[in-house]
Amino acid sequence: MAYPRRFLFLILLLAVYGGVVRAQQPAPPAPHPNPSPSPSQSQAPPPATQQQVPTIRSTVSLVHLVATATDRRHNFVTDLEKGDFKVLEDGVPQEIKLFGRETDLPLRIGLLLDTSNSIRPRLEFEKDAAIDFLTSVIRRNKDMAFLMTFDNEPEVIQDYTGDLALLTGAIRKQRAGGGTALHDAIYRAAEKLTNPPLAKGPNQEVRRVMVVISDGDDNLSDHALSDAVEVAIRAEASIYSVSTNTDWLATSGDMPRKMHLAPGDKVLQKFAEESGGRVFYPYKVEDLAESFVDIGTELRSQYFIAYSPTDAQVNGKYRRIQVDTTRKGLTVRTRKGYYATAAALTPSPAN
């Protein structure tokens, strides 16, 4: 078929114009080779921008201890200095980095009341003991406590509060019945003490304390005794055990005393010794007065010791601690050890 000359001329003009347009557009840049950087180039840090401010911070991991010193007559000794103490971890001497007297820290107290059926004859004794303790220790607008009961299972009856009326009212309402889950109660209370309400102001440190009033028998817990001890140690909570067990108690006039420890007593003793607390064996409510005065005085008469372990491995292993004093005739009590985890080693800025 023959096309008109004008039509052929138009096609030729469009083809020439399209080529000119393509020739005028810049060609895409050729890909550059990506050679491997030299060692010096690969190690060079990126240049700092104006918004980046270089910060140099070093930290040391510290193990915190609360220690009590007593003389041969069991009187509290409160005038010791840093140089009077020596710390061993697994038998290796440690350098004390921080030292002070724990005389005025706010208290965070977990009060654990055994309400199992086995305790029924002594329940009123427990109630009076608990109220007596809180009345003598809690300071208004500073200290706080929570109440936990345990029979078949532990239950928080009253959460953290500094209101003695709330705590006393909650204690008075308790009734006995069911089995005994002591280990579970210790475990749960220690978890609760791990994150207590902090103190107000720039220094938010608090002192964690657990008071357990029980005969020490356990027949329902899911957690083993060792599990409960471990979580209490991790929480840095000192356990003060008050035994309601009068077995193996001999009386001599008006001064009853413990001659042998029942199995439950040994459990309470284990909790106290491993955590740096104490165990008491009162016979009647009147005997509690001196015991609770001792607990309150002790909580105001302790020393704060922190050291950076020579073994810096964070391997989760249990490490034994021994704290002694160079002053003769004194006994120092603190927790028996700790687990080498990141949570147990508290970072502290180093100047």
Q: Is 42 among the domain residues?
A: no
Per-residue pLDDT tens for 200-219? 888 888 899 999 999 999 99
Structure tokens at 91: 């038998």
Cβ contacts of 231-234, under 8 Å, gap ≥ 24: 231/186, 231/187, 231/190, 231/191, 232/186, 232/190, 232/271, 232/274, 232/275, 233/274, 233/275, 233/335, 233/336, 233/337, 233/338, 233/339, 234/190, 234/194, 234/338, 234/339, 234/341, 234/343, 234/344
- Both 72 and 136 in one domain: the answer is no
Q: Which domain holds residue 260?
A: 107-300
- Both 228 and 176 in one domain: the answer is yes
Q: What is the pTM of this model?
A: 0.78
- Both 324 and 282 in one domain: the answer is no
Q: Is 31 among the domain residues?
A: no
**How many structural domains are present in the chain?**
2
- Both 90 and 218 in one domain: the answer is no
CA distance 16 to 126: 107
- Both 85 and 123 in one domain: the answer is no
Per-residue pLDDT tens for 291-308? 777 888 888 889 999 999
Would you state the pLDDT for residue 31? 47
Reported as a pLDDT band with limits 50, 70 and 90, residue 35 is very low
Q: Is 146 among the domain residues?
A: yes
AA letter at 91: G
Torsion sign across C-alpha atoms 155, 165, 296, 89: positive
What are the angstrom distances between the C-alpha of 26 and each of 15, 32, 212? 20, 17, 84
Would you state the pLDDT for residue 285? 66
Structure tokens at 127: 């109630």
Q: Is 11 among the domain residues?
A: no
Q: Is 178 among the domain residues?
A: yes
> With 80 as the cut, is the pLDDT of residue 133 above it?
yes
Would you state the pLDDT for residue 343? 76
- Both 169 and 65 in one domain: the answer is no
